Amino acid sequence: MLKARRSVLRLGAVVLATCCAAAAAAAWEPSKPVQLYVPAGTGGGADQMARMIQGIVAKHELMKQPIVVQNKAGGAGAEAFLEVKEKKGDAHLLLITLSSLFTTPLATGIPFRWTDLTPVKMLALDEFVLWVNSEAPYKSVADLVAAGKTQKLRMGGTGSRQEDHIITVAITKATGVQFNYVPYKGGGEVAVQLVGGHVDTTVNNPIEAVSHWKAGKLRPLCVFDSKPMPYPEKITETMSWADIPTCKSQGLDVEYLMLRGIFMPPGVTEEQVRFYRTLLDKVRATPEWRELMAQGAFNQTALEGAEFRAWLEREEERHRRLMAEAGFLAK
Amino acid sequence: MSELVALFHGFAIALQPHNLALMVIGIVLGVVIGVLPGLGGANGVAILLPLTFTLEPVSAIILLSCIYWGALFGGAITSILFNIPGEPWSVATTFDGYPLAQKGRAAEALTAAFTSSFIGAFVAILVITFVSPLVAGFALRFGPAEFFAVMFLAFASFVGLSSGSPFKTLASMMLGFLLAGVGLDTVTGQLRGTFGSTELMRGFNFLVVVIGLFGISEILQSIEEGLSFRGREGRIDLRAVLKTWAEMLRHKAIVLRSAAIGCWMGITPAGATPASFMSYGVAKRLSPHGREFGRGRIEGVIAPETAAHAAGTSALLPMLALGIPGSPTAAVLLGGLIMWGLQPGPMLFVEQKDFVWGLIASMYLGNVVGFLIVLVAVPWFAAILRIPFPIIAAVILVVCAIGAYTVNNAAFDIVLMLIFGVLGYVMKKLDYPLAPLVLALVLGDRTEQSFRQALLMSEGSFAIFFANPLVASIMLLGFVMLFWPLLSRLWQRTPAPTAA
Amino acid sequence: MPQFAGGGSGIGQKAVEIVLAAALAGVGLLAVVEGRRLGNGWGFDGPEAGYFPFWVGLLLMFASLVNLAKALRAREEARLFVTWGRLFSVLQVLIPAIVYGAAIFLVGIYVASAALVLWFMRGIGGFSLRQAVPVAAALAVVAFLVFEVWFLVPLPKGPVEQALGF
């Protein structure tokens, strides 16, 4: 308790409120190191976020026990999902998720659904932006679509039958433009391939492409969200994240956001879930977290409880529909 | 000139006492991590990343990159003493390093390995310092076709090297390709060769297979041959060091060529592993003693080590300048940069001068400090060989098991390691060469992927592999290497037919 | 040396050659079947997922069948793969290693490792328990400190560690 109080003083007023709420309900807390599974390899977006959480928790002493990050990348996350599903009632295990929560079971047919887990909290949503090379003649979505009607454009993306591929299919459905989709291993590689002119367009996350944008090598055309991103600081001389129009406003009716959320194994108590929810609220209140959010231009929606479940339900259905139309479902 | 000014400013940052202390801690920690397979490189850095969160970014990257240097040096120790490569790029070092150790020349092999690493890394740092803006852009020209060409070149310079039965070589290499393909196929997103098993979904990790094939099988063979490791003479004294250095001077052409191969492969960024194999292959092809490679030639240690470290170091350039990692460890460091609030990419050199030049300066210093530390510490490592066999064998087994486990955090991998241990023992005794298997396992997946990506882009046309001067010349070089034995015979015959 | 007793007889090289070649041919066949399942054709935009496994499997089968034929033609008593005596010393290490691998699942890696060191020192090396027990315990404790405590790398743990609150 003493330790908890000291960190309260250090963290200031915002955290004070959440922290005391926790102190009131502090009946359960972890008794050994908490493992945080990443269903992807080291160095990717989910991995970065997981290690960020680990670092923040350690730096601000938000918890007595440390968080330990473990990568379980096998089978596009299938391994991690199945393992967490089986560790029923283990309250010292967390799982950070990305879109593979939906796409992997649908594409590979492994016996797993998100309902096999206990949803804790949505941390943020990752945006997707349509990019082209700044030397390309496409100044708008309309230009790109027009070009796509006469020639087959190359779309670079991360993985196959995963989020980038699904967005590509959705664009095809919305505009009738057929793409030549080329899958790569990581988002950073995809951005570089676009800069090098090996592909014509990509749907990179902001954090993967921002540096090349800043250097004047890439041009953003639109963001796949319902409203523009809320970050008005200038990134280039003339533009900020907020200046990128939504795709819908450009006549491309596609919306897609990637989940960054935390889950627990099934069969944990409400009290344990509440502990981690409070912990994650504290993490979200730190300056380091806010810095990361601004850098990656994340959508900071953070649902929990029934709302989160409803969101998951909806997204799963949408993925099933999109993937069925594209022929990506496991036979 | 502006580079020099910036560099000296960087030295001032890196030479601050607390940064210097972090450097030494990092190197020592790195050597320890490098000696424990599985913890090495990427894993070690990933594990320690969050612990650096409280440091200044410059200090943090100095600590982490020094761990990286230390791990690189440490990996060579186990490769040479126990035939256990801790990283993919140490595999080629075992080919001649371990036979040398068995002949009682471990001291020379270690000295050669450390010195080559030092030189390789040093050349790469010079390249980074002075020509970075020029070469950074080079990586941009590498699309899937160019990657495939480089992989092809790596294979071409290596195949046909083993002297055993061609059918055994073929079987061994094909097994490696098959193992590499198990798991998720990036191009189609389908699971391949898993036969419904969750355990197989993560595929066959290189480390698990190699720890088994090389390390465990070596223990089995040693016990069969009488309960001891051969070549206990692991002592390094000044004379051995000087003798090795004198010998290395005679091989300066190999050193320079290997460093060039390494820098090129690091910047492209194909990575250290193909660089080490390619460099070993080229050295063997061009050496008049080519046939003796694999039985303990010092050049067989110099070539892969120089190239691997030149590549490993220069791989940091595309990471910093473009945000593409040339190695798994670079990928983790990349995550670190973002965590510390730095955005890797073309603007980093402009916006974060202190950081970039502090890092480059720490590379110079870290490399020197690391070299001195490992040279001094080697007698202790060599002393390991004097521990009675039953203890050291048990400890190696335990360390291998931990290493196999930590790669994927999967206990099943320990079982796989044992299976491959038995397989390696049997294959070695039946003269199946293991090198082609490992080469195919390490590079097979990426080779297949870039081949298929390229064809996806060209919509099935092979013309893409000869579409521009860059890719065409790499492919051509690959064919030359592939048919080298034939070509060299022709070349010898044409000018002087009587000599044949 | 006593562990080489049994000298002359053992497992023939030929038998092992045949078994390994047949096993590798079997692996090749598996790959061919898997390749067919995935689709081993050449799509309009390059090879399908099963293309490489199919052909690589076929090559492996071919090479292994040649090796198999060569092995079958070899003279029976050409060479020994391993003598019984030597096999016994290998098994002395291999069987504990396999038991060790299985024990990790049951009692965790630390206890299993200590037991392995104990067995090697006592059973193979002939050390006294007084020498072996401290070494085994020290290894387990050092490994535990390094991995669980300092580097925060969780390794497989069993009931003993759980009782201690990990």
**CATH number for the domain including A320?**
3.40.190.150
pLDDT of the residue at C59: 95
Query: Two tokens at B190?
Result: 């389908």
* Residue appearing with tokens 């960087």: B10
pLDDT of the residue at B228: 58
pTM of this prediction? 0.84
A162: nearest CA in chain B? B189
My answer on whether A204 and A137 are in the same domain is: yes
B40 pLDDT band (50/70/90 cuts)? Answer: low
Q: Count of A–B CB contacts within 8 Å?
A: 166
Q: Which residue has the higher pLDDT, B39 or B467?
A: B467
C165–A70 C-beta distance less than 8 A: no
Q: Which of A31-45, B265-279, C88-102 is the most confident on average?
A: C88-102
My answer on whether A192 and A107 are in the same domain is: no
Q: Which of A118-132, A157-171, B309-323, B445-459 is the most confident on average?
A: A118-132
Determine, yes or no, domain membership for A195.
Answer: yes
Judged by a CB distance cut-off of 8 A, whether residue C156 touches chain A is: no
pLDDT of the residue at A14: 43
Instruction: Look over chain B and give the mean of its residue pLDDT values, rounded to a whole number.
Output: 83
pLDDT of the residue at B1: 55
Q: Does pLDDT of B493 surpass 90?
A: no
Range of lowest pLDDT (A17-21, B322-326, B362-366, B428-432): A17-21
pLDDT of the residue at B118: 92
Among the candidates A250, A273, A297, a domain finishes at A250
Question: Given A55, A82, A196, which is nearest B140 (Cβ)?
Answer: A196
Contact residues on chain B for C116, CB-CB shorter than 8 A: 394, 397-398
My answer on whether A121 and A133 are in the same domain is: no
Among the candidates A232, A250, A268, a domain finishes at A250
Range of lowest pLDDT (A52-56, B59-63, B302-306, B344-348): B344-348
Task: Enumerate the β-bridge partners of residue A157.
Answer: A183
For B455, residues 6+ apart whose C-beta sits below 8 A from its C-beta are: B461, B462, B464, C45, C46, C47
My answer on whether A161 and A265 are in the same domain is: no
Q: Does pLDDT of C34 surpass 60?
A: yes
Judged by a CB distance cut-off of 8 A, whether residue B341 touches chain A is: yes
B177-219 pLDDT, tens digit each: 999 999 888 788 788 888 888 888 888 888 889 889 988 998 8
Number of structural domains, chain A? 2
Q: How far apart are the first and last CA of chain B?
A: 55
Task: Enumerate the β-bridge partners of residue A67.
Answer: A34
Q: Does pLDDT of A3 surpass 60?
A: no
B351 pLDDT band (50/70/90 cuts)? Answer: confident
pLDDT of the residue at B291: 82
Determine, yes or no, domain membership for A159.
Answer: yes
Task: Enumerate the β-bridge partners of residue A262.
Answer: A96, A121
Judged by a CB distance cut-off of 8 A, whether residue A54 touches chain B is: yes
Query: The dihedral of CA B370, B371, B373, B379: what is its sign?
Result: positive
- Spatial distance between the Cα atoms of B344 and B325, rounded to a whole number of angstroms: 10
Judged by a CB distance cut-off of 8 A, whether residue A314 touches chain B is: no
My answer on whether A133 and A105 are in the same domain is: no
My answer on whether A158 and A240 are in the same domain is: yes
Looking at residues C83-97, what average pLDDT do you find? 88
Among the candidates A214, A232, A250, a domain finishes at A250
Question: Given C89, C105, C135, which is nearest B391 (Cβ)?
Answer: C135
Judged by a CB distance cut-off of 8 A, whether residue A217 touches chain B is: yes
- Spatial distance between the Cα atoms of C76 and C72, rounded to a whole number of angstroms: 9
A33–C152 C-beta distance less than 8 A: yes
Question: Given C1, C60, C101, which is nearest B175 (Cβ)?
Answer: C60
Q: Does pLDDT of A8 surpass 80?
A: no
Q: Does pLDDT of B499 surpass 90?
A: no
B225-274 pLDDT, tens digit each: 775 555 455 455 677 788 888 999 999 999 999 999 999 888 887 788 88
**Residue B399 parent element (H or E):** helix B389-408
Contact residues on chain B for A210, CB-CB shorter than 8 A: 343, 345
Query: Two tokens at B148?
Result: 């495939």
Judged by a CB distance cut-off of 8 A, whether residue C133 touches chain B is: no
Burial B17-42 (b: 16+ CB within 10 A, else e): eebbebbeebbbbbbbbbbbbbbbbb
My answer on whether A87 and A229 are in the same domain is: no
pLDDT of the residue at A295: 85
Domain carrying residue A70: 34-126+258-326
Judged by a CB distance cut-off of 8 A, whether residue B184 touches chain A is: yes
DSSP class per residue in chain C: -GGGTTTT-EEEHHHHHHHHHHHHHHHHHHHHHHHHHH--SEETTEE-TTHHHHHHHHHHHHHHHHHHHHHHHS-TTS-EEEEHHHHHHHHHHHHHHHHHHHHHHHHHHHHHHHHHHHHIIIIIT---HHHHHHHHHHHHHHHHIIIIIIS-----B-HHHHHTT-
Contact residues on chain B for C53, CB-CB shorter than 8 A: 178, 181, 192-193
Looking at residues A190-200, what average pLDDT do you find? 92
Query: The dihedral of CA B419, B423, B424, B426: what is its sign?
Result: positive
A256-281 pLDDT, tens digit each: 999 999 999 999 999 999 999 999 99
Residue B425 contacts residue B416 (beta carbons within 8 Å): no
**Any idea what the CATH number is for the domain that residue A238 is in?**
3.40.190.10
My answer on whether A67 and A143 are in the same domain is: no
My answer on whether A142 and A208 are in the same domain is: yes
Determine, yes or no, domain membership for A27.
Answer: no
Determine, yes or no, domain membership for A28.
Answer: no
